[in-house]
């Protein structure tokens, strides 16, 4: 009854006027994608939580009365990506076993426990355990949300809906930046703990992925799911048959793992997904996100560091909104190329500034450079390399192996987040902050070549057409 009601209400909420910004038949797709992405918003709040904690967690120390060394705070920051890394592969298996929807809903319980540990922490260990559990849940959402959105969306709006992933991450980070300047860290943690509950109350009413049902041989449930997503006036039979044909075409008698190894399309998918995830993290974005406050303090910015961080967070949201509007018009490749070229230039500029500081040059005339460079970096990251690797990971793998394949790409991403976050301080102390940013710049230059030579355009193509193209058909 709920499925029929949602499908019928879709038609009544929005008229069939073709001039509507969001046509009736796509409304439920927008709602479902937005509801799923609330889990990503909760994960974004986990990412941004370390910034208002202050340099070496000074705000945590004063509030909780716990002595935290710089090494201990680096682990509090970096332990969440460790949890995400360990959760990626199990989540892919879980998503293929019990479904995309219930895999996400299941994460609410540990997510809440993780925040409760942080709220009630009386030791560094409790902070670390809570952050580790929150990282587990964040990793699970990073695997399942792109898959879910790619599988429920029509090809002409898949890019827009796929951008919801990065949009909600940036909104989550921005919320923690703003609230962190208003309330203390314990109240901030309580607010963060509420978000997974909001996700649960919203997403539990959304449909399961029709492709998941087809994988399980449940054609009737797949049909009902498509009707809810497309509307009762939409003839779902052609789309249903297209998905069924694609599953039959890619089906073999071997396990999904061996299917991945043998299929030309999925091998190419791994190269593309792993490459995009590598360059997304090795461009240095999480250095900016995790250490925004301390970067501005060390740079001697005239603005208070928390205000500078809020500016960065607001710019992130605007940039992702721009990407959401243009990704299904401009295409993936041009946005990726434009994005990584600017990432290369801005990290080079940051390297120059910090190098001048290291050699005691007068930088008073270019105090604006760190904020300007980071703002441009954040804009261009969120226009291209922020949302698109996640979106394309949901697009480029066949349904039979998508859970395991996408989770392995997420595993790589989370491992790189840990490496960059944990060892940025160590590397910058050894070779210098300026030289570290130059290292990021070199990686971005290599990433430009990678995108130009290897990444295909998927704009406007069905999931089946993308597989045929990767297979050379």
Structure tokens belonging to residue 247:
């599953």
Computed over every residue of the chain, the mean pLDDT equals 81
User: How does residue 297 score in pLDDT terms, banded at 50, 70 and 90?
Assistant: low
pLDDT value at position 258? 56
Q: What is the mean pLDDT of residues 308-317?
A: 75
Domain 24-206 is in which class? mainly alpha
Instruction: Report which of residues 341 and 301 the model is more confident about.
Output: 341
Per-residue pLDDT for 85 more than 50? Answer: yes
User: How does residue 416 score in pLDDT terms, banded at 50, 70 and 90?
Assistant: confident
Per-residue pLDDT for 13 more than 70? Answer: no
Q: What is the mean pLDDT of residues 352-368?
A: 80
Per-residue pLDDT for 447 more than 90? Answer: yes
Per-residue pLDDT for 300 more than 80? Answer: no
Tell me the CA end-to-end span of the chain in Å, nearest whole number.
Answer: 42
Domain 259-472 has CATH 1.20.1250.20: yes
pLDDT value at position 159? 79
pLDDT value at position 294? 59
Instruction: Report which of residues 141 and 259 the model is more confident about.
Output: 141
pLDDT value at position 20? 41
**Range in 184-188, 434-438, 447-451 with the lowest mean pLDDT:** 434-438
**Range in 143-152, 155-164, 168-177 with the lowest mean pLDDT:** 155-164
Q: What is the mean pLDDT of residues 457-472?
A: 78
Instruction: Report which of residues 329 and 350 the model is more confident about.
Output: 350
User: How does residue 131 score in pLDDT terms, banded at 50, 70 and 90?
Assistant: very high
Give me the residue spans of the domains in the chain. 24-206, 259-472
pLDDT value at position 81? 79
Q: Are 288 and 421 in contact (CB under 8 A)?
A: no
The 3-class secondary structure across the chain, one letter per residue, is CHHHHHHHHHHHHCCCCCCCCCCHHHHHHHHHHHHHHHHHHHHHHHHHCCCCCCHHHHHHHHHHCCCCCHHHHHHHHHHHHHHHHHHHHHHHHHHHHCCHHHHHHHCHHHHHHHHHHHHCCCCHHHHHHHHHHHHHHHHHHHHHHHHHHHHHCCCCCHHHHHCHHHHHHHHHHHHHHHHHCCCCHHHHHHHHHHHHHHHHHHHCCCCCCHHHHHHCCCHHHHHHHHHHHHCCCCCCHHHHHHHHHHHHHHCCCCCHHHHHHHCHHHHHHHHHHHHHHHHHHHCCHHHHHHCHHHHHHHHCCCCCHHHHHHHHHHHHHHHHHHHHHHHHHHCHHHHHHHHHHHHHHHHHHHHHHHHHHHCCCCCHHHCCHHHHHHHHHHHHHHHHHCCHHHHHHHHCCCHHHHHHHHHHHHHHHHHHHHHHHHHHHHHHHHHCHHHHHHHHHHHHHHHHHHHHHHCCCCCCCCHHHHHHHHCCC
Distance (Å, whole) CA 466 – CA 338: 23
Per-residue pLDDT for 340 more than 60? Answer: yes
pTM value? Answer: 0.74
Q: Averaging pLDDT over each range in 145-159, 230-244, 435-449, which range is the top one?
A: 435-449
pLDDT value at position 295? 63
The yes-or-no answer to whether 24-206 and 259-472 have a common fold is yes
Instruction: Report which of residues 390 and 334 the model is more confident about.
Output: 334
Instruction: Report which of residues 344 and 294 the model is more confident about.
Output: 344
pLDDT value at position 303? 61
Per-residue pLDDT for 3 more than 50? Answer: no
Q: Are 246 and 398 in contact (CB under 8 A)?
A: yes
pLDDT value at position 112? 95
Of 135, 144, 140, the C-alpha closest to 107 is 140
pLDDT value at position 113? 96
Distance (Å, whole) CA 343 – CA 199: 33
């Amino acid at each position: 009854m709920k499925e029929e009601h949602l499908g019928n209400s879709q038609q009544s909420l929005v008229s069939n006027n073709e001039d509507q910004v969001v046509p009736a038949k796509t409304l439920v797709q927008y709602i479902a994608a937005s509801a799923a992405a609330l889990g990503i918003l909760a994960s974004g709040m986990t990412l941004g939580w370390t910034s208002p904690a202050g340099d070496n967690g000074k705000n945590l120390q004063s509030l909780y009365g716990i002595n935290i060394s710089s090494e201990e705070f680096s682990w509090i920051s970096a332990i969440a990506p460790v949890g995400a890394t360990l959760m990626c592969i199990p989540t892919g298996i879980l998503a293929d076993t019990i479904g995309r929807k219930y895999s996400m809903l299941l994460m609410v319980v540990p997510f809440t426990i993780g925040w409760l540990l942080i709220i009630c922490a009386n030791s560094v260990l409790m902070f670390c355990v809570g952050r580790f559990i929150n990282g587990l849940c964040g990793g699970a959402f990073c695997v399942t949300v792109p898959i879910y959105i790619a599988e429920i969306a029509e090809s002409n709006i898949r890019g827009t809906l796929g951008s919801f992933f990065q949009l909600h991450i940036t909104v989550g980070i921005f919320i923690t930046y703003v609230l962190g300047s208003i309330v203390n860290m314990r109240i901030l943690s309580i607010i963060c703990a509420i978000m997974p509950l909001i996700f649960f109350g919203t997403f539990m009413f959304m449909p399961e992925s029709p492709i998941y049902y087809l994988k399980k041989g449940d054609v009737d449930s797949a049909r009902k799911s498509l009707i809810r997503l497309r509307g009762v006036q939409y003839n779902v039979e052609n789309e249903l048959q297209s998905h069924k044909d694609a599953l039959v075409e890619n089906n073999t008698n071997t396990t999904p793992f061996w299917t991945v190894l043998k299929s030309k399309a999925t091998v190419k998918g791994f190269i593309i997904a792993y490459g995009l995830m590598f360059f997304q993290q090795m461009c240095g974005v999480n250095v900016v996100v995790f250490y925004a406050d301390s970067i501005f303090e060390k740079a001697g910015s005239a603005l208070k560091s928390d205000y500078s961080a809020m500016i960065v967070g607001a710019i992130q949201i605007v940039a992702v909104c721009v990407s959401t509007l243009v990704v299904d018009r401009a295409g993936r490749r041009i946005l990726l190329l434009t994005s990584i070229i600017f990432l290369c230039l801005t990290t080079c500029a940051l390297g120059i500034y910090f190098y001048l500081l290291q050699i005691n040059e007068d930088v008073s005339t270019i105090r604006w450079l760190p904020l300007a460079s980071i703002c441009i970096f954040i804009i261009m990251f969120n226009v291209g390399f922020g949302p698109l690797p996640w979106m394309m990971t949901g697009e480029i793998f066949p349904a039979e192996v998508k859970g395991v394949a996408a989770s392995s790409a997420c595993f790589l991403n989370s491992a790189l987040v840990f490496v960059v976050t944990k060892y940025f301080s160590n590397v910058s102390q050894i070779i210098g902050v300026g030289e570290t940013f130059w290292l990021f710049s070199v990686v971005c230059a290599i990433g430009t070549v990678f995108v130009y030579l290897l990444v295909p355009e998927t704009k406007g193509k069905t999931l089946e057409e993308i597989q045929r193209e990767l297979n050379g058909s």
